[in-house]
Each structure stands twice: as C-alpha cells, then as structure tokens.
Chains A and B, each alone.
Chain A
Amino acid sequence: MIDGLTTALLATSRDVFAVTALLLGFQLFVLRRPIPHLRQLLIGLVFVVIGLAFFLMGLELALFPLGTHMAEQLTSPEFVAGADTMRESPEWWRYGWVYLFAAIIGFSTTLAEPALIAVAFKANQASRGTISPWGLRLVVAVGVGVGISLGTFRIVTGASLALFIIVGYVFVVLQTVFAPKSIIPLAYDSGGVTTSTVTVPLVTALGLGLSATIPGRNPALDGFGLIAFASLFPMMTVMGYAQFAVWWARLRSR
C-alpha cells in the first residue's frame, strides 16, 4: 500500500512539477510580473497531487483488482459457453453479460472521471449556467457506455474496426452540420477526456480478455479499438442531446 502511494504520488507530482516549473519560469523571465495569489495557487497544486494520489491508490485497492477480475471471468469460456474450451465461432448472443457489463462499467467509470468533472465545471461557467455540469457528465457517460458495449460486440463478431470508426466519423460530421454551433467544440472535447484514469485500465482488461479467449483473435491487434470507441460515441451523444434540446424547446414554444 505504501508502495502504491509512492508510485501514485510520483506520477502526479511529475506532471504538477512540470507545470509549476513552467509557470515560475515564465513568471520570472518572460512576464516579469507577480502572479496574483501565487501562494494559493501552489496550495491548490499540492491538493491536486494529494487528491490524485489518494484517488489512484484507492482505485488500485478497491476497484481495479475486482473490476479486471470480473472482466476476465465474464469473458472466460466456462462463463460464456459453459465449457472448458471455446467452440470455433461462438454465437454473438452468448456474450450478453459482456455487453451489459461493458455498457454499465463504461457509464459508471465515466461519471467518476476527474478530467470530465473539470471540463463539465468549465462548460457550466463558459455557458453562463446553461449547461448543467451533472447533465453533461450523464450524457458523456451514456456515450462511453454505448461505445464500449458496441466495441465489445465488434471484438466478438470480428467486424472491421476501420469500418465502424469510419461510419462513426461520417455520422459525427453529419451531426456537426446540424447541431447548434456552440456545442460543437465541447462535444469534440468530451471525446478526448473520457479516456483517462478510471476507464482505460478496466476497459483494456475487458478488451484483452475478450480477444484472448475468442479463437482466431489476436489480442495485440483486436484488443485495440475499445478506447477509440469510447472517444467517438460521447461526441455523438453530446451533439445529439443538444439537437434534442433545441428541437424540444421549439416544440414547446409552439
């Protein structure tokens, strides 16, 4: 446990150290002006380090062992087919529990994603309160849940990753044309923040477990792509929700 704490502390302090050095360097040599509330900022940075260290250590203690174990169990041949070995091509519907687990683990881990909490807070501020932070997080979490569930379906059926991604991006482009202009940058950013501390380890375990147990899959190649799905679908749900909100408001004002 002490070991986990030191690793987590080291990892986050490296990031924070880089930021602090950059900040002080620019203040001293380029801006040559005191930065307001410098002491408070530095205390805030210390809080970030402490917070992330506890967060990561807690995840390692409580969530990751059980979560990855569950992912492995759910994808094991005994659980899926009730036999020791997998048949040549197991039917896709035998993996029902996997899709469900993928969807709700994607949804629930996204709600606790610290980077998304930060973006949602800022979105609320920048929109002057129009975008509710909790609402944005829910919509993004639904997107990640759908994306990861569909990603596991793709691994099971062995369908082409490129095809899914290309169709997905064409859909995103179409939505971009029709969605309210003010939501587009935030929707794009939501795709990038979902794949960090909490989601990636659990999702990777799920992807690797799946492609390792299905005959004819190569974990090095087929395990990829879940993360790509997890960043594609939030863009769709965020823009979709904004379109829905505009449509709903128009309907009600009639």
Chain B
Amino acid sequence: MMGKAPTVKPLLRIFAARFGSALRDLLPIIAVIVTFQLLVFRQPFPDVAGMLVGTMFVVIGLMFFVQGLEMGLFPIGEAMAHAFARKGSLTWLLVFGFLLGFSTTVAEPALIAIVAKAADVVAEANYIPSDGASRETYAMQMRLTVALSVGVAIVLGIFRILKGWPIQYLIIGGYVVVGLMTSVAPEAIVGIAFDSGGVTTSTVTVPLVTALGIGLASSIRGRDPLIDGFGMIALASLTPMIFVMLMGILKFGLRAPGLG
C-alpha cells in the first residue's frame, strides 16, 4: 500500500481508488442526514446545490488527506524514529518529542476556542476579574499549559516505549490522579479540564505521533509495534486534564469544602 514516490499515471489510479473509499466513508453520514430530514422532520433540503458541492469537497478532501498521510505524515514519523534510533541520542529524541507535541497543540483552533470559553466560565465564577485583559491573560496561560502537557505526554510516551513499560499502569494511574484531583479542584475548572483532554489530538498530530511510536517500537529490539507502539494518543488526552486542574488548584486554591 505504501507507494514509493508515485509518478503521475499510477497517482491517477490511486486517486480513483481513494475516491471510492472516501465516498464509502461518507455514505453513513449522508444517509443519516437525508433520512432524518425527509422522514423525521419531513422537510425538503434548504440548499441542495450547496450540500452536493460540500459533499464533493469532503470526498476530495479525504482523498487528498489519505494520500498525503501515506506519502508524508507516516513516512516522516517513521523516518524520524529510525534516524533517532540510529543516532542513539535520547536527549535529542525527547526534545524532538516535546517540541512536536507543544508546537502542534499551541496553535490548535479547537484549543483556542476552548480556552476562550474557559476564560468566560472562570470569570463568571469570579475566579478572575471579568475584564477583557484578564480573560485574555488567563486564556493564554491555559493554552500554554495544555500545549506543555501534550509535550510532556509525548516525552513520557517515548520514554515508556524505550523502557517497555505497559501503558495500562500509566493510564490507569493517571486516571486515579484525575479522579482525586476532580474532588479537590475548583468546580468551574473540572468541566474545562475534561474537555481540554479531547481537543489536543489534532488530525495532523495523530498520524505523526502514531507513526513515530510504531517506528520507535519496531526499531528497538524486544519491542512489539502493537503493544509498545500505540498509547501516546491516550497519554496526550490524559495529561491535559491533570495539568489544567493542577493549574486551577495552584492559581485559585483548593475547592472550598462542603460546596462540591
């Protein structure tokens, strides 16, 4: 499946095959929307032309994305894993992992949307003054905290692959920490913390980090790509919760007893 620098003609054939599978991926959603609109709401479609063009765009987009995945993101992750394994420098590998996690998260649009909402919630709960400047400062601090936590998650994930630690101890241990923090963190922070875990893993980061993990696991003797290669995405969804609640506790103190 992994093509080696395809030239134009095979590329056309690949795209034709991708078109079919992208259409198949999309059919369920189209079926749901059409069924509900026609049978439940019994309404005609407001903008048929727009919907058709939009669906076409989604199919074309998936097609290009999957092709780019196989030509770009997967090989880059693997190439970096092999290059670092050859060079044998743990420090640089960890620096690379941290920067990868931090830089792909800090500008993530979903994260920017969530920290803006978080600033509103926190201001409403009177934790910070509700003027624009304090909200912006808080939102920025949140953004950096979450990006830092994803960087740490990748570093931890790489370290775990090298050591061969089973992922379940880290994840279950992490969720015990999350559970304990939930009961002492300021109440307004908890919901935000849970949601920030979900927004960190963007569509560009996931394939890259997965390929990096599997590349590392398969270039180190005694590691299994399936058992040791996966797990970094799970870590990257866990650490933001811990870091955001920790930041909440450090900034605003523990939750007042009897309120929660």
Residues 209-233 of A, flagged 1 when their CB comes within 8 A of B and 0 if not, give: 0000000000011001101101100
User: Whole-angstrom distance from the CB of B45 to the nearest CB of chain A?
Assistant: 8
Q: Which of B26, B62, B191, B237 contacts A231 (CB 8 A)?
A: B237
Other-chain residue from A18, A47, A70 in contact with B103 (beta carbon distance below 8 A): A18
Q: Which of the listed residues B64, B66, B224 has the most CB atoms from chain A within 10 Å of its own CB?
A: B64
Which residues of A sit under 8 angstroms from B110, Cβ to Cβ?
Answer: 196, 200
CA A59 to CA B25, docked complex, whole Å? 14
Count of inter-chain pairs, beta carbons less than 8 A: 314
Q: Are A26 and B71 in contact (CB under 8 A)?
A: no
Report A-chain residues with C-beta under 8 Å of the C-beta of B172: 173, 176
Is there contact, CB below 8 Å, between B175 and A169? yes
Q: Which of A46, A111, A181 contacts B25, CB < 8 Å?
A: A111
Could you tell me the distance in whole angstroms from the C-beta of A178 to the nearest C-beta in chain B? 12
- Tell me what chain A mostly uses at the interface: helix, strand, loop, or mixed: helix
Asked, given contacts A15-B204, A22-B103, A60-B54, whether A188 binds B79 with beta carbons under 8 Å apart, the answer is no
Inter-chain CA distance A200–B234, complex, in Å, is: 17
A140 to chain B: closest CB distance in Å?
A: 12
Name the segment of A86-94, A99-107, A245-253 touching the other chain.
A99-107
Shortest CB–CB separation between residue B232 and chain A, in angstroms? 8
Interface string of A119-131 (1 = CB under 8 A from B): 1011101110000
Whether A63 contacts B96 in the complex (CB less than 8 A), given A125-B214, A185-B167, A189-B210, comes out as: no
Seen from chain B, the residues whose Cβ lies within 8 Å of a Cβ on chain A are 1, 4-5, 25-26, 28-29, 31-33, 36-37, 40-41, 45-46, 50-76, 79-80, 83-84, 87, 89, 92, 96, 99-100, 103-104, 107-110, 120-121, 124, 166-168, 171-172, 175, 179, 182, 191-192, 194-195, 197-199, 201-208, 210-211, 214, 217-218, 224-234, 236-237
Q: Choose one: A54, A121, A195; the contact of B199 (CB below 8 Å).
A: A195
- Determine whether the beta carbon of A61 is less than 8 Å from that of B54: yes
Task: Annotate A11-23 by CB proximity to B: 1 below 8 A, 0 otherwise.
Answer: 1101110110111
10 contacts across the A-B interface (CB closer than 8 A): A18-B103, A30-B89, A49-B68, A54-B57, A54-B61, A60-B54, A62-B58, A63-B33, A66-B45, A115-B201
Decide: B124 and A19 in contact? CB cutoff 8 A: no
A191: chain B residues within 8 A (beta carbon) = 234, 237
Q: Is A35 an interface residue (CB 8 A)?
A: yes
A42 at the interface (CB under 8 A from B): yes
- Secondary structure class of chain B's binding surface, majority of residues: helix
Q: Is the CB of B124 within 8 A of A220?
A: yes
| Partner among A118, A127, A181, A185 whose Cβ is within 8 Å of the Cβ of B73 | A118
Contact check, B201 vs A55: say whether CB atoms are below 8 A apart: no
8 Å CB interface, A18-70 against B: 18-19, 21-23, 26, 30-31, 33, 35-37, 39-63, 66-67, 70
Whether the Cβ atoms of A47 and B83 lie closer than 8 Å is no
Cα distance A46–B75 in the bound complex, in angstroms: 14
Whether B229 pairs with A48 at a CB distance below 8 angstroms is no
Residue contact A41 to B76, C-beta cutoff 8 Å? yes
**How far apart are A31's CB and chain B's nearest CB, in angstroms?**
5
- Cα–Cα, bound, A122→B84 (Å): 20
CB–CB B70/A15 < 8 A: no
Q: Are B83 and A31 in contact (CB under 8 A)?
A: yes
**Are B231 and A52 touching (Cβ within 8 A)?**
no
CB within 8 A of B83: which of A35, A44, A66?
A: A35
Please, how many angstroms separate the alpha-carbon atoms of A50 and B6 in the complex? 18
Report how far A205 CA is from B134 CA in the complex, Å: 28
Residue numbers in A under 8 Å from B36 (CB-CB): 70, 101
When the two chains form the complex, which single residue of B92, B103, B210 contacts A118, counting CB atoms closer than 8 Å?
B210
**Contact A119:B233 (CB < 8 A) given known A15-B202, A227-B194:** yes
Within the assembled complex, what's the spacing in Å between the Cα atoms of A176 and B169?
A: 10
A40 proximity list for chain B (CB < 8 A)? 5, 71-72, 75
Most A CB within 10 A of own CB, among B68, B179, B225:
B68
